[in-house]
Amino acid sequence: MFALVDVNSMYASCEKIFDPLARRTGVIVLSNNDGCVVAMCKLAKAKLGNVKFQPYFKISKQVEASGVIVRSSNYELYSDLSASIMDILSRYSPEQHIYSIDESFLRFQTQPKENWWHLGKDIRRVIWQEVRLPVCVGMGPTATLAKAANHFAKKNRNTGGVNVIDKQNIMAVLQGMAIEDVWGIGSRLGKKLRIMAIDNAWKLSQQPAKLMRQQFSVNIERTVRELQGEPCLTWDEVKSPKQQIFSTRAFGEKVTDYASLEQSLVMHSEKVAKKSRKQGSLIKMMVAFAHSSPFSDGQIYRRNIHHGFFDATADSRDLAIAASAAAKQIYRPGVLFHKSGVGAIELVDGAMYQRDMFSSQGRDPRVMAALDSINQRFGPNSLSLAAKGIQGKWQMRREMKSPNYTSSWLDMVKINCSNIISK
């Protein structure tokens, strides 16, 4: 049996934990540089309608009039709370696959003491008690059916946040699921299937798997088989390692000086290196880039610099050196830089990589392992490269960010007990 545990409106729910006012009035969360709405709770949606992905400057007066709280994205808080949830889920099954910051798959080889529904309710209860985040739990004999069950639990309040797909309810669940909502289908493929009168998950499950492979691909065949109750996906196939890794972001304010540009590129290179280490990859080719705003009145300036590593690496120091060298080639006086980024465009499997016999063996990987361990324990950027600076113009604009309640000693919630009368 597979289970998918998904946090309801992750960003908005995190903001409500430590803010009683947000719980009473509703809250929306903005994207990088306070651009557009990326998350909103049910109360905010009831007051404002569905304004998700709309630019904040267009709806700011409407939001202010409604009394809904506005927050900048607090990734430090969200990632820390996500880690707590994933730790709780690991208690239930050793076979866990973290799919995203707010989703995780579990696989169970044995039946629970009571039944699957009670197990799902227990997962919800424990996460709420320990982290104070609402989740939905979907269960099914395959990962795709668990995803469908989770989708049904979110859409139907009478489920109590838990849905288990079995022989009795599978038709009802899949018939109520639009074809575009099926895991792995999407809107483009959904249009093609609708032409064939396949407009929901149930109709897709009734198709001959081999025929769907001939007409589309092996991935669609696997989806059909999974909907029919036949497990076809392994954890590696559920989320395979990325072939390319990028870190890019618009500046909080336009950058004109070389130091800020260099620091931003070093920061992005550090993130790319960390993501590469996390998935066990090494980088053979890196690209660093920066450009002016495409909406500026003057001529648009953009420059890409490629750097190949003789020995594939995931060491932050190696990428930082390459990023600093790239900054010297990219920088041009007088240019108002709008955005910068770094990408690993050629990755190799770290476990299978064979180093050159006559080259140096590269840096000691234990240094980066220690760096990641320290940042995991004490919070992001507790230890980082000096070359990226501390604060700069390139920093993301987050004017309405909430405190880092769980990862900063200075931001921890303080409770005044002086007025409590002891019995």
Q: Which CATH number fits the domain that encloses residue 341?
A: 3.30.1490.100
Which among 194, 211, 236 is the end of a domain? 236
Q: Tens-of-pLDDT digits for all 423 residues of the chain?
A: 999 999 999 999 999 999 999 999 999 999 877 889 999 999 999 999 999 989 998 999 999 999 999 999 898 889 889 989 999 999 998 889 888 889 999 999 888 888 999 999 999 999 999 999 999 999 999 999 999 999 999 998 889 999 999 988 999 999 999 999 998 888 888 899 999 999 999 999 999 999 989 988 888 999 999 999 999 876 655 555 677 888 888 887 888 999 999 999 999 999 999 999 988 899 999 999 999 887 777 788 989 999 999 889 999 999 999 999 999 999 999 899 988 999 998 888 887 777 766 655 567 888 999 988 888 877 777 788 888 776 655 566 777 888 888 877 788 877 777 665 554
Which among 16, 42, 73 is the end of a domain? 73
Please state, as a whole number, how many other Cβ atoms lie within 10 Å of the Cβ of residue 413.
9
Residues 84 and 205 in one domain: yes
Is the CB of residue 342 less than 8 Å from the CB of residue 261?
no
In a domain, 40, yes or no: yes
Residues 87 and 216 in one domain: yes
Contacts of 14 (CB under 8 A, 6+ apart): 74, 77, 78, 81, 133
Which among 73, 104, 120 is the end of a domain? 73
Residues 229 and 249 in one domain: no
Residues 82 and 221 in one domain: yes
Please state, as a whole number, how many other Cβ atoms lie within 10 Å of the Cβ of residue 130.
12
Residues 138 and 158 in one domain: yes
Residues 262 and 222 in one domain: no
Length of the chain: 423
Q: What are phi and psi of 43, to 5 degrees?
A: -65, -40
Residues 164 and 273 in one domain: no
In a domain, 97, yes or no: yes
Rounded to whole angstroms, the Cα distance separating 141 from 227 reads 9
In a domain, 314, yes or no: yes
Strand pairing of 2-7 and 27-30? unpaired
Residues 260 and 371 in one domain: yes
In a domain, 2, yes or no: no
Is the CB of residue 251 less than 8 Å from the CB of residue 259?
no
Rounded to whole angstroms, the Cα distance separating 264 from 341 reads 8
Place of tokens 């395979």: 240
Residues 209 and 223 in one domain: yes
In a domain, 412, yes or no: no
CATH number of residue 41's parent domain: 3.40.1170
* Rounded (10°) angle between helices 258-278 and 316-330: 150
Chain centroid to CA 131: how far? Answer: 19
Q: What are phi and psi of 101, to 5 degrees?
A: -65, -25
Please state, as a whole number, how many other Cβ atoms lie within 10 Å of the Cβ of residue 371.
21
In a domain, 45, yes or no: yes
CATH number of residue 215's parent domain: 3.30.70.270
Which domain, by its residues, includes 165?
78-236
Residues 232 and 99 in one domain: yes
In a domain, 361, yes or no: yes
In a domain, 409, yes or no: no
Residues 99 and 214 in one domain: yes
Q: Tally the domains of the chain.
A: 3
Residues 291 and 319 in one domain: yes
